[in-house]
């Protein structure tokens, strides 16, 4: 495992990391979480991604319990959480980034995680109803109080990120350091085009999610939706249209000869491709079984092998398929 700086910050994150979206609290219990976290850390992973909204807060509780059981030195790993959607109904409790919500949200996450601070905190989506100035000041205060070390955004537009950065710069506040966008072979425009100026101009780092395009790039949907996959879970029915996209499935099948030549799985190829982008600080992987963690982590061996010729071959196999 190699480590990369998170954007222009001094923080070093493992080039592959482990996230808990969908799985923790839905497909993974505490004993499985302990085992998967251990396998990931054995492979060199030091960043574990979470969010307040995942499984309605249960994901944070599960990860907090697992980490307490493992007893690792707090300095040895990086934990994130994200805020926007909330986990309770009512005004100022969901779909907002106002100061009141953020003030309470971080305390709730820290209680569930059983931690004094998180390393990274993300504004999970932009909030069109709260002035960006209010959000920037609230995030600055969160960092200033030591409840988070770095703050950033997730799925914000380039213009919104620039606006937040400029406000922080003008008032000498803690600036957004990272963005967490979706990035995979079918979803590339935002990372490769829209954000192109942000890396040099603002020093933004990326913690990208969904490297396997909700599982399509594993190849497991070539013959239909298998039982127990995430698209069959209650509340995730919306994934069905994505994972059954015939163009995506056909493109994935065209990647098989490349994976075979490299002696790797489709999953490893797709993950390594994401990490081959030098603008990506870390690729967040997911798993519902320990075996998947072990398989995914082997992608680190492929990253140095993806030279210009192989990357062009992958592009030709995928064609012009993309989702903006």
What's the pLDDT tens digit per position in 60-102?
Answer: 999 999 999 999 999 999 999 999 999 999 999 999 999 999 9
Q: What is the pLDDT of residue 246?
A: 87
- DSSP letter, residue 233: S
Q: How many CB atoms lie within 10 A of CB 269?
A: 23
The residues, any chain, with a CB within 8 Å of residue 11's CB and separated by 6 or more, are: 5, 78, 119, 149, 150, 177
Full-model pTM: 0.92
Strands 205-208 and 12-14 come out as unpaired
Strands 12-14 and 3-5 come out as antiparallel
Per-residue pLDDT tens for 189-242? 999 999 999 999 999 999 999 999 999 999 987 766 666 665 555 665 656 667
Here the tokens at position 295 are 């398989």
Which is the catalytic residue, given 54, 84, 150, 195?
A: 54
Distance separating alpha carbons of residues 76 and 272, to the nearest angstrom: 24
Cβ proximity of 121 and 81 under 8 Å: yes
Q: What is the pLDDT of residue 221?
A: 76
Q: How many CB atoms lie within 10 A of CB 128?
A: 9
Told to judge if 150 belongs to the known catalytic residues of this protein, a careful annotator would answer no
Q: How many CB atoms lie within 10 A of CB 199?
A: 16
- DSSP letter, residue 231: G
Mean pLDDT of 176-200: 98
């Amino acid at each position: 495992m190699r480590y990369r700086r998170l954007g222009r910050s001094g923080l070093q994150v493992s080039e592959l990391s482990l996230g808990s979206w969908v799985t923790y609290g839905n497909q993974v219990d505490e004993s499985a979480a302990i085992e998967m976290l251990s396998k990931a850390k054995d492979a060199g992973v030091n960043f574990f991604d979470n969010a307040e909204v995942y499984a309605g807060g249960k994901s944070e509780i599960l990860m907090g319990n697992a980490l307490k059981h493992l007893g690792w030195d707090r300095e040895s790993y990086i934990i994130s959480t994200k805020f926007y959607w909330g986990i309770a109904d009512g005004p100022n409790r969901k779909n907002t980034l106002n100061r009141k919500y953020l003030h309470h949200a971080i305390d709730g996450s820290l209680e569930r995680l059983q931690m004094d601070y998180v390393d990274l905190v993300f504004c999970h989506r932009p909030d069109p109803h709260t002035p960006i100035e209010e959000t920037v000041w609230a995030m600055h205060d969160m960092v200033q109080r030591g409840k988070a070390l770095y703050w950033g955004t997730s799925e914000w537009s380039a213009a919104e990120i620039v606006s937040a950065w400029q406000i922080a710069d003008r008032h000498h506040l803690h600036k957004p350091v990272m963005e967490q966008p979706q990035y995979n072979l079918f979803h590339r425009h935002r990372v490769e085009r829209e954000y192109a100026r942000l890396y040099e101009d603002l020093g933004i780092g990326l913690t990208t999610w969904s490297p396997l395009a909700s599982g399509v790039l594993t190849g497991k949907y070539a013959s239909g939706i298998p039982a127990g996959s995430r698209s069959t879970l209650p509340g995730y029915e919306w994934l069905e249209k994505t994972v059954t996209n015939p163009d995506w499935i056909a493109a994935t099948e065209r990647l098989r000869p490349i994976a075979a030549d490299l002696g790797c799985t489709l999953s490893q190829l797709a993950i390594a491709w994401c990490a081959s982008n030098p603008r990506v600080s870390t690729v967040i992987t997911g798993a519902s079984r320990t075996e998947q963690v072990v398989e995914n982590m082997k992608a680190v061996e492929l990253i140095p092998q993806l030279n210009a010729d192989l990357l062009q071959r992958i592009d030709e196999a995928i064609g012009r398929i993309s989702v903006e």
